[in-house]
Structure 1
């Protein structure tokens, strides 16, 4: 009996010494992003990755069975439209959670992080929105995975076409560069600085 009681006491002591693993809630908190913010973040990451994968595959290999398959999975215009909608939802959800989201770190690093996030949102809004505007200005049909949202028309509205023709390419590569930098900094925080910045998006409340 004495040995059993001692084992039970030791087990209870171990349990009390370890932090409890609590589940992530739907809403954000000052220490972690909630389930909805995480889902929107990773959905955005998947859409952007697929968009650039299709683009780079076409540029590198031209038209073949692989690029045609990728284009059928992620048509450029359809992915752009989805990115626009997801970004608008993300902005709305960020506004709802604005008083309880994890704060940016203080100092220059925090200000740079805030600037990068603002630039991300601006590009994710501008690129698809002006591409749609260009398509409309050219009179082209607007389609979402084969579903026609607006039929073709005979028109040529220069002010709708010119800004996107001028800036869509350079700003797309700026977005690509920011994505690469974002991933690199997340790895720096995780493996070099060893802080909990990455855990806000992928860890548990006790992580």
Structure 2
């Protein structure tokens, strides 16, 4: 089953979900690690280039995932969910998608505004041009500082949303005993546990 159905996710949606989950977890861990290093440490530059490289991969996959979701809507939420739970599910997914786009973009603008003018070369192969820094962000140091703050705070917000997302999936599986988690693991029709 490639496409989503009314009751389950297809292979493409499942592949997007788990690929991005691994990439984002790695990006968050790498970001926390590299920002703890002294700027003069031997490998600091390499870690930042790796973080930027995977950031562009996340951005590209997030755009593709959104396109896939538009042309291939997600399955319906379980009928046993309250209106409030459905609201939280939609709000959480909107936040996750928004941050999947916002974090790479704020990082790209931050690098573009940096007075250091350090190039971004994806995986030491493909150079990526800097973005023009919009005038309303102020001069380059002000724009860099703002984007840095947005990027860092966005990363912490993403961590909080991921924890909530995982907790909700486990709640659905172990307490509600519905098929929410099962349908993101397998394309086989899931049956509720009780």
In 2: Cα distance, 1:199 partner to 1:164 partner? 38
What is the aligned partner in structure 1 of residue 136 from structure 2?
none
CA offsets, 1:47-92, max 9 Å, x none?
Answer: 01111222344467x58xxxx6xx66x9211111111111000000
Question: What's the TM-score, normalizing by structure 2?
Answer: 0.78
Cα 1:90–1:133 shift into 2, 3 Å: same
Once superposed, what is the RMSD of the aligned Cα atoms? 2.8
Separation in 1, partners of 2:187, 2:148: 44
**What 5-or-longer segments of structure 1 have no aligned partner?**
1-24
Structure ID, larger Rg: 1
Distance apart, 1:117 and its partner CA: 0.4
Q: Match of 1:146, SS?
A: coil
Match of 2:181 in 1: 198
What 5-or-longer segments of structure 2 have no aligned partner?
A: 134-138
Q: 1:90 maps to what in 2?
A: 65
**What does residue range 114-125 of structure 1 map to in structure 2 within 5 Å?**
114-125=90-101
Counterpart Cα distance in 2 of 1:47 and 1:161: 25
Output aligned runs, 1:53-72, within 5 Å.
53-58=29-34, 62=37
Q: Are 1:102 and 2:75 counterparts?
A: yes
- TM-score by structure 1 length? 0.74
**Number of positions where the alignment pairs a residue of Structure 1 with one of Structure 2:** 174
Deviation of 1:122 (Å): 0.7
SS at match of 1:143: strand
Instruction: Look up the SS of the partner of 1:184 in the other structure.
Output: helix
Alpha-carbon contact 2:183-2:189 (below 8 Å) kept: no
Query: 2:165 corresponds to which residue?
Result: 182
1:128 deviates by: 0.4
- What SS class does the counterpart of residue 102 from structure 1 fall into? coil
Residue 124 of structure 2 is aligned to residue 142 of structure 1: no
* Cα distance in 2, alignment partners of residues 192 and 115 from structure 1: 21
Spell out the pairing of 1:126-141 with structure 2 (5 A cutoff): 126-138=102-114, 139-141=117-119
Cα gap change, 1:115/1:151 in structure 2, threshold over 3 Å: closer, same or farther? closer
**Structure 2 partner of 1:38:** 14
